[in-house]
């Protein structure tokens, strides 16, 4: 039987790896646009500030979701500590499970939305850079 914790750990690793790649791509994109000023100096090559904005929004969305995920994990951890200190009654366990399930659902949605924002911004910025060259 598959282990639920194993899949959660794999999801976390893939999520962390993807987030790192997205941030590196965005920061690298901003760096290229800033360093290669000559490529974007022509009047009909696109808006340099718009390209930087799309890269920055994508990176910012990943940083925000990273901060939210950090808070989320701290909240779950602190709830676990409180649960250990409280009486281990069925009522407390039910409340805890409902709370964790609610957190899981919303943070999964926030993660997906953040990734979609990043992908769309990177796609638009990459197209604008390609057209500018």
* Residues 39-75: tens digit of each pLDDT: 666 645 557 788 889 989 999 998 998 888 888 777 7
Buried b (16+ CB within 10 A) or exposed e, 78-102: eeeeeeeeeeeeeeeeeebeeeeee
Average of pLDDT values for 23-34?
83
Q: pTM for the whole thing?
A: 0.71
If DSSP codes are grouped into helix, strand and coil, which group holds residue 41? coil
Count of residues making up the chain: 133
The range of the structural domain enclosing residue 41 comes to: 4-132
What is the structure's pLDDT at 118? 92
* pLDDT score at 90: 65
pLDDT of residue 89: 62
Q: Give the per-residue pLDDT at 130.
A: 80
- Give the pLDDT score at 43: 47
Interval 72-98 mean pLDDT:
67
Cα–Cα distances (Å) from 120 to 22, 38, 72, 96, 124, in that order, read: 12, 26, 25, 36, 6
Number of domains in the chain: 1
């Amino acid at each position: 039987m598959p282990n639920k914790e194993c899949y959660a750990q794999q999801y976390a690793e893939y999520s962390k790896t993807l987030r790192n790649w997205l941030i590196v791509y965005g920061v690298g994109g901003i760096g290229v646009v800033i360093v290669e000023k000559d490529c974007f100096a022509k009047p009909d090559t696109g808006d340099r500030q718009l390209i930087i904005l799309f890269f920055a929004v994508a990176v910012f969305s990943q940083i925000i979701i990273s901060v939210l995920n950090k808070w989320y994990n701290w909240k779950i951890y602190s709830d676990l500590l409180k649960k250990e200190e409280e009486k281990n009654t069925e009522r407390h366990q039910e409340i805890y499970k409902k709370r964790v399930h609610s957190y899981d659902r919303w943070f999964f949605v926030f993660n997906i939305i953040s990734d979609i924002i990043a992908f769309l911004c990177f796609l638009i910025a990459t197209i604008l850079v390609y057209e500018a060259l």
